[in-house]
Structure 1
């Protein structure tokens, strides 16, 4: 905790004064344009990767960047999605997986979850990705895990579209969905292209979008 407290003190004394106007403007309102759903992994920091200041992103983080399909008993993720889309009127949703994801590695290698039953139950929301991934043949275990990370992003893009608020926003053409995979070692991002159903370099295809063409908002 010592390092965390020291970090806060440095922020309060050195960083906050520089951005005081920004925080004053954020004191009573927020207007993020993007809902960013990522893994809880400490190596992926959405604001750092996208170079956004406080107030720029509405962030949901959990094991495996998972979005449960909408159901009769919505949980915290569902409530946050609904708030972002309906109340904050975000225009974009990014679901971002990453390399060396422990959750996806556990699924791809059929790791025993007996000692972590809550984690095992949570990862069931990635079952559709698991089934697709298991049906393929891979040259190595690493390739199997990398594929699982991508398939999970695709599965969560499908899950989020079962949420009424998201479905309405898509129908009205005011929301676009994006699926990304961040590579920790290289800093590269691959984005899911809904038109070709493949992942492409975001740096080379900055306009790529996962949303079907008929729902995509103008960029």
Structure 2
């Protein structure tokens, strides 16, 4: 009986939306005229169709979008505090200023540049620092290489330092990110997705590296 009612309602939907033949439409019209319940259902479906046609879903205004972003960041922070994220500390496997680990050779980077490679069970991360000669600040360029096939564009990155406010950015679809005008100091970089948080420590920016 329930299936029959469902089929009947589906036929009414098709009729209201013009998806039945003329013959079937005439049959349904006679049934609706003699059945109060079917008549009420048709009236409701027609009212719903009119409201749907008149409803336009547009982009939210900037202030609403900003509020949604803030709420999402609060949600992400709460998720991080709740322990839902897998947290790993990446290991420094290469530093162009030091004898490289794991048998890697130096790349001959100029003194104004420094390269780091960090490894973890979640992703490998490369960091390239380029010091600007005119002001002594550095530009940091990074790239995330997930080891499990995760979309590299699903990550975000955060630059942390005790002496300055944290800066956050997103990766592109290649997993690349950057921070500009970084003052000398020792930093941590957090690479975060909705599943994991990778901590890179000891990212040192020297004046005139």
What TM-score bracket applies, with the shorter chain setting the length? under 0.3
Normalising to structure 1: TM-score of the pair? Answer: 0.22
Structure with greater strand percent: 2
Structure of greater relative contact order (alpha carbons < 8 Å, 6+ residues apart): 1
Higher radius of gyration, 1 or 2: 2
